[in-house]
Amino acid sequence: MAVLKTLLYLLVYPGLLFLFVYSTFAEWFDRKVFARLQNRMGPTHTGRWGLLQPIADFVKLMAKEDIVPARADKTLFTLLPIVGLAIVLTAGLLLPVWMSDPAAPGMVSFSGDIIVLLYLLSLPTLIFFLAGWASTNAFSIIGGTRVLTMLFGYEVPLFLSVLSPALLAGSWRLAEIAAFYRAKPLLLLPNLIGFVVALIAVQAKLERTPFDIPHAETEIVGGTFTEYSGKKLAFFRLMTDIELVVSSALLAAVFLGGFGGGPFLGFVQFIVKTLAVIFLLSVLRAVTGRIRIDQVVTFAWRWLAPLAVLQLFIVILIKGFVL
């Protein structure tokens, strides 16, 4: 029975199937919002309001010819999309989808899971870099180096800003952090700076405008994914979608608190909160143009990192004097 439960947990909910469905929905939502902001329609034809469009894209890519360049490192080239997908799926399991009750948490909730989640979220960046490097294409290599260069910019602000609320809550466990803020919702307000910093850093992590530098198509064609096609590209795209869901869920859990109300309401809250974060990310995507790689690093260290440190100070002060 336990085995069956684990399998169900891994494959159906909140594992593979749920993440697949929800991430495609998130992509649809992102695309639709992006399009509407630009006065366009967005996906319309596949399914009601184009809801099935991301799935159709996925299926189409799965059916396409899969080409491995002759000079590429074939093992690495083939392995990377699968490993990457596995990593983000694992990260998805750690999300507090509905169980924010610290007494009976989710299956893999443990002290320090926020650290593990952050760690799992940095791994895709490495995967992208390796994917670019393994392709041995000039564009991919440039894309790969850009991925790494950007990593040095946004990773520190992201960690600092996500860990500040955890510090305030006094726990390294997502469920406990959510429970803490459910008890004291007013304490979410001091974390506002951290939320903004984390939003921007997550945007950079997800390589979306203005940080879509590693695959800026007008400069370096497909960037890291230039040589990828067919199933491998489909996996990579799915991976990016799931990464979007996981990172926005992380931000939602840490910064937006929770309001309890049992499994069903908790699940609805989870959806609403993540969609709100995705909406903000889409607006950020629509409102900016792509910046240059040197501008990313300058921006991250001149603005994001100091703001994140400021957030940390605020949290420490509150913890020392108010609580």
| Residues making contact with another protein (CB under 8 A) | 33, 35-41, 44, 138-139, 142, 145, 209-210, 212-213, 216-221, 283, 286-295, 298-299, 302-303
Question: Whole-number minimum distance, CB 39 to another protein, in Å?
Answer: 5
| Nearest distance, CB of residue 180 and another protein, angstroms | 32
Distance, CA of 262 to CA of 107 (rounded, Å): 16
User: Which CB atom, from 60 or from 302, has the smaller least distance to another protein?
Assistant: 302
Closest separation between CB of residue 145 and another protein, Å?
A: 8
Distances (CA, A) of 278 to 120, 245, 275: 20, 8, 5
- As to burial, measured by CB atoms within 10 angstroms (0-12 exposed, 13-18 middle, 19+ buried), residue 57 is middle
Pick between residue 122 and residue 149 the one whose CB is nearest to another protein: 149
The smaller minimum CB distance to another protein, of residues 169 and 197, is found at 197
- Read off the tokens for 27: 């992509």
Q: Which residue has the tokens 């792509």?
A: 290
Which of residues 182 and 290 has its CB atom nearest to another protein in the complex? 290
Can you tell me the distance from the alpha carbon of 219 to that of 289, in angstroms, rounded to the nearest whole number? 14
Q: Residue 299 CB, nearest distance to another protein (Å)?
A: 5
Least separation in angstroms between residue 286's CB and another protein is 5
Kindly tell me which of 283 and 316 has the beta carbon lying closer to another protein: 283
Q: Rank residues 75 and 218 by Cβ distance to another protein and give the closer one.
A: 218
CB of 274 to another protein, least distance (A): 19
Peptide bond into 81 cis (omega under 30): no
The DSSP letter of residue 64 is S
Taking the C-alpha atoms of residue 228 and residue 225, their distance in angstroms, rounded to an integer, is 5
Helix (H, G, I), strand (E, B) or coil at 132: helix
Contacts of residue 113, defined as CB under 8 A and 6 or more positions apart, other chains included, come to: 94, 172, 173, 174
User: Distance (Å, rounded) from C-alpha 119 to C-alpha 91?
Assistant: 9
